[in-house]
Amino acid sequence: MNDDDVEVELRRAIRAEAYRPPMILRPESLRARLAAETASRRSSTWRAALVAALVGAVAVVVAVSVSQLPRTPSVGQPSPTDGCEVSTVVRHGSWWKEIGGPNAFFNTEPDAFHAEPNNWLLITRFQPDASPGQDIQVWADRLGPGDHVPGSYNSAMDPTNIFHGSEPAPRLPGGWYLFEQRFPVPGCWRLSAAIDGRVVGTATVSVGARISARLPVGTYMTTTAIAGEPCFAFKNEHATYEDVGRVQAWSWDQGESGDCQSRTSDVIPLTGLIVPREDSGYDLVLSVPLMSGQDHEIRVALHRSGGSLAGVALSAENAPVFFTPIPAVDPTFEPRQ
């Protein structure tokens, strides 16, 4: 076949592939979306808050409790729970943790936060869910001095899209929503969730001093690829870095399943850098070789999330990055599908 013939065949085959599954606009799908949009309109300011969070926040810290690893205590810092009667964690399934109640629950641990000028992302479950047209709010009050920091609504969440490794979040009832909440100073804070101004759930958390200067030691893999970027993993051997440090790293193209636990390319060994930032955190910098012979830089601002890691991809429009701890990167893992 000549080039033109190949092009014609390619077009025909791609079109056939595009229309392979029958796409049906289902009424129930539209109804579900309309309900979700009603919820999203409950807060008229969330869009502005989200834009502000993305533009202003070099670091959006992810408060989702994605790890079961023990938290590494910070040297020389008081325990974040000192003098603060924090809420008890209730575990559902193997990894999902919540605090609060009686009718609103926060997916976090009471010592997961540190004072931070930027917003934390907080999954909040209202049980029972708010009715369409009702307002839902989350805020934080510092106990004692009485500081009040309103949270901002981000979006409705579909719990079937929340995973830890390959384990889904438990199917708990109610409405799931993502809020952004800031804790500007350390202390004992009460989180409140309300429907139409009536408090339906509270939790007390202890917000420690900033501890992002310490990284958890271990090998961490991105749970899913950032749009347009490869999956990657790196082996962090030190909790702190005085200067730029080198780490072993690997990258591969995500598997057909869309996560990083399978692959569609070889696993490429890389050298990564851990670069201390001025604000006492660290950036992970990876250089991924391209076919052209040039390198593509991936830069992620790292943050602790519970005992694990999360981050913000500075090289990809501040997309959130979730990491999963793994024993090691096996270059022969999960063959191509």
Identity of the residue numbered 47: R
How many alpha carbons lie under 13 Å from residue 230 in its C-beta half-sphere? Answer: 25
Tally of CB atoms within 10 A around 215 = 23
Member of 265, 271, 328, 331 binding another protein (CB under 8 A): 265
Member of 92, 235, 296, 299 binding another protein (CB under 8 A): 296
Query: What string marks each residue from 14 to 53 as x (binds another protein by CB under 8 A) or -?
Result: xxxxx-xx-xxxx--xx--xx--x----------------
Which two tokens mark 44? 């008229």
Cβ closer to another protein: 91 or 336?
Answer: 336
Q: How many residues bind another protein (CB under 8 A)?
A: 57
Contacts of 175 (CB under 8 A, 6+ apart): 39, 125, 126, 127, 128, 129, 130, 136, 156
Tokens 């007390």, residue located: 204
Which two tokens mark 64? 């989702």
Q: Does 55 bind another protein (CB under 8 A)?
A: no
Shortest Å, Cβ 143 to another protein = 36
Cβ closer to another protein: 18 or 55?
Answer: 18
Per CB under 8 A, which of residues 192..231 are in contact with another protein?
Answer: 223-225, 227-228, 230
Q: Cα separation of 334 and 254, whole Å?
A: 11
Per CB under 8 A, which of residues 160..199 are in contact with another protein?
Answer: 161, 163, 166, 168
Shortest Å, Cβ 114 to another protein = 26
Cβ closer to another protein: 160 or 280?
Answer: 160
- The alpha carbon of residue 253 and the mean position of all alpha carbons in its chain are separated, in whole angstroms, by 20
Shortest Å, Cβ 240 to another protein = 31
Q: Does 326 bind another protein (CB under 8 A)?
A: no
Cβ closer to another protein: 21 or 102?
Answer: 21
Member of 13, 75, 90, 239 binding another protein (CB under 8 A): 13
Task: Give the DSSP per-residue string, 155-208.
Answer: EE--GGG-EETTEEPP--SSEEEEEEEEE-S-EEEEEEEEETTEEEEEEEEEEB
Tell me the sheet residues that pair with 138: 193
Cβ closer to another protein: 83 or 258?
Answer: 258
Q: Does 264 bind another protein (CB under 8 A)?
A: yes
- What torsion, rounded to 10 degrees, do the Cα atoms 36, 42, 44, 47 define? -40
Q: How far is CA 112 from CA 1, 25, 32, in A?
A: 61, 42, 33
Cβ closer to another protein: 55 or 290?
Answer: 290
Q: Does 266 bind another protein (CB under 8 A)?
A: yes
Q: Does 288 bind another protein (CB under 8 A)?
A: yes
- Where residue 271 falls (left for φ over 0; alpha for ψ -120 to 50; beta otherwise) is beta
Tokens 């799908």, residue located: 29
Shortest Å, Cβ 254 to another protein = 8
Q: Kindly list the residues in this chain that would bind another protein in the complex (CB under 8 A).
A: 1, 6-7, 9-18, 20-21, 23-26, 29-30, 33-34, 37, 161, 163, 166, 168, 223-225, 227-228, 230, 251-259, 262, 264-266, 268, 288-292, 294, 296, 336-337
